[in-house]
Amino acid sequence: MKVLLLILVSLFMAANGYVSYRNYKLYEVVPNVDQYDGFSAWEGAPGVDFFKRKSAGRASTVLIAPEQQQEFEAFLRLNNILHNVIYQDYEVELEKEREQMAETRKTKSAFKIDGQADFSVFWSFTEMQSYLLGLRDRFPNLIQVENLAFSPEGRPIYAIKVSSNPIFGQRPIIAMETGMHAREWAAPPTTLYLIHKLVEDPVTSAELLARVDWLIIPMQNPDGYEFSRNTQRLWRQNRRNVTATCTGVDLNRNFAFTWRAATLSQPCGSQTYPGPSPLSEPEDYQLHHVVERYAGQVKMYLSVHTFGDLVLFPWGYTDAPGRIENWDELVNVGNIWRDAVLAATGKDYYVVNSLEYFGNINGAVDDHMLAIHGASITYTLELTDGFDFRYPEERILALAEETFIGYRSFGLYIGNRFG
């Protein structure tokens, strides 16, 4: 405990109130099958942050605190594990990001002079809120903003319901959420942009609201997002004080289906801590309930993250009983996204089963929505391959447009199939 406290204290740099990652090294590590268990055992250790843990034979990315580097490198050498250092000092990269964002903010905000949304800057939560409430006031017959609950720090969690029908939910619904993981900043702009297109662009409204309703939670974890923006860039979880000494639950491990209690490798305080009980976190509890309310109508569920160019489909949990029943359908529909984006932009998404790609993940939202709420076509999307959690602001709009092509392809498919 004392050591952990020391690390935490040293993390907090006086300057600007930012938590510093000075001399943290980012490694790319490719363990083979025999080396995999030993490598995975580092997950949850103090000073170890798995940006991405993939299955054996694939390149995982892991950030290691200065205090742990000697031991970690000795482990890699001893086991002869293929690896290389991507960044020697991650704080240098974060400084560049902060400088770039400060520069952008000199001339930009979420709104242009004419009042239109500007998708070339990362919005604060307050800006997201003003945009969404403004849209609702301007287009009351297309969009409803429901405040599902308040986050532990008192921010509203909005479910955006977009429909051209006076009563929402009579058509097949595509439900989705972004922002579950605080540091994955590039995902929320894609759903905000989708909302913008559905509501403000008449061509899109006509095409994508004709046979489908959209239930969108653009910011699932507002507290974590703001904490990542203002204090600790690599924060992943929510900000609930679980105990007096531990804050934060991984919202994508807290769902009820196949939830597993914390183990030694995921104690409270580790990045993938699943929480004290299933759906213990208000953010997840409300998401579960809003989808439950429309269960039967929710034909597709998307959980959108960064990074990787991946369309991942269930199951992802440990000891899943082999292939999911509708495996072929999930591959085929995933390929609709892949083909649409590929044709328009040349970007090649990889459609793959979660378990196969990442190894097991329990208590995740995708398995839950499929198993509990019957959203039989469910994906976790990982955007922005070639970057980590940092993403250049000048590329946000292009990413939003590209991702919209994927969302549109799914909208047309669900409309044709169920509408």
The footprint of Zn ion (CB under 5 A) covers 181, 184, 305
Q: Quick one: tokens of 97? A: 């990001």
User: Which of 198, 189, 269 is CA-nearest to residue 225?
Assistant: 189
Which CB, 168 or 407, lies closer to Zn ion? 407
- Alpha-carbon gap, residue 390 to 228, rounded angstroms: 11
Which CB, 174 or 381, lies closer to Zn ion? 381
| Distance of closest approach, residue 223 Cβ to Zn ion, in angstroms | 16
The whole-angstrom distance between residue 13's C-alpha and the CA centroid of its chain comes to: 27
Which CB, 361 or 371, lies closer to Zn ion? 361
| Distance of closest approach, residue 52 Cβ to Zn ion, in angstroms | 9
- Cis peptide, bond prior to residue 315, ω within 30 of zero: yes
Compute the C-alpha angle 237/240/245, nearest 5°.
100
| Distance of closest approach, residue 187 Cβ to Zn ion, in angstroms | 8
Q: Where are the beta strands (DSSP E) in 179-297?
A: 213-217, 241-243, 246-247
| Distance of closest approach, residue 3 Cβ to Zn ion, in angstroms | 28
Whether residue 281 lies in the annotated active site: no
Residues 346-384 as b or e (16 or more Cβ within 10 Å = b): ebebebbbbbebbbbbbbbbbbbbbbebebbbbbbbbbb
Catalytic residue among 177, 281, 283, 382: 382
Which CB, 184 or 402, lies closer to Zn ion? 184
- Taking the CA atoms of the chain, what radius of gyration do you get in angstroms? 21
Compute the C-alpha angle 254/144/401, nearest 5°.
75
Between helices 327-345 and 396-418, what is the axis angle to 10°?
Answer: 140
Which CB, 163 or 232, lies closer to Zn ion? 232
| Distance of closest approach, residue 197 Cβ to Zn ion, in angstroms | 23
The catalytic residues are 382
